[in-house]
Amino acid sequence: MASFGLTNVKEFVSSPSIPTTLRCNKKLFTSFSRTCFTRKTPRRNGGVYAVFCSSIAMETARIKVVGVGGGGNNAVNRMVGSGLQGVDFYAINTDAQALLHSAAENPIQIGELLTRGLGTGGNPSLGEKAAEESRDAIAEALEGSDLVFITAGMGGGTGSGAAPVVAQISKEAGCLTVGVVTYPFSFEGRKRSVQALEAIEKLQNNVDTLIIIPNDEIG
């Protein structure tokens, strides 16, 4: 599986290292010319794979990075801390306390009525319902975007449940949508693994590019 450093988002979308000998599906967007390639890469854990898309963005493209759930929020915090420029950062979470510590300039609490700011307790169904409750707020945040990066940790509640909804909203708005997610450590157990795979299956239907990073390989 190819891996990409997110220190420069505009460099990522035009990276020559993205595979080019794969099944091709060409599409044209108003702000982007892209060629998409899909490759399923079997893994030892059975069924995790990556979907790649090579894109060329206009210099005026508006790029947003959206961290969903605890893992996604942590990723955004690291990117903000690294001094990444040229993008707008958003942190989406059901946990109100977690958002207080977010470095993103645009925190969004979802499912306020459903979870009352207390998180989902690792339940993806609650994460999905929370995102649906706050669909209008998410759509407003993504409005006007050309390229949206969605980062999340798969296997938990908010990231697994809400990230596919955020991706769906992004796609419906006509944005080029890239998912960058992590797959749980093997020691986290079967439940989180199953939840992660189910979330990945939902997510892949609503993104142009999906990059899956197994925690076992980076931990």
Contacts of 106 (CB under 8 A, 6+ apart): 88, 89, 90, 91, 141
What pLDDT score does 63 carry?
97
What pLDDT score does 12 carry?
39
Of the CA atoms within 13 Å of residue 194, those in its CB half-sphere come to 4
Which domains are delineated in the chain? 62-218 (3.40.50.1440)
Would you say 161 and 128 are in contact if contact means Cβ atoms under 8 Å apart? yes
Question: Which of 136, 130, 93 is CA-nearest to residue 115?
Answer: 130
Regarding pTM above 0.85, the answer is no
What pLDDT score does 60 carry?
78
What is the mean pLDDT of each successive set of 10 residues along the chain, which is 219 residues long? 35 35 28 36 44 50 97 97 94 97 97 96 98 98 97 98 99 97 96 98 96 90
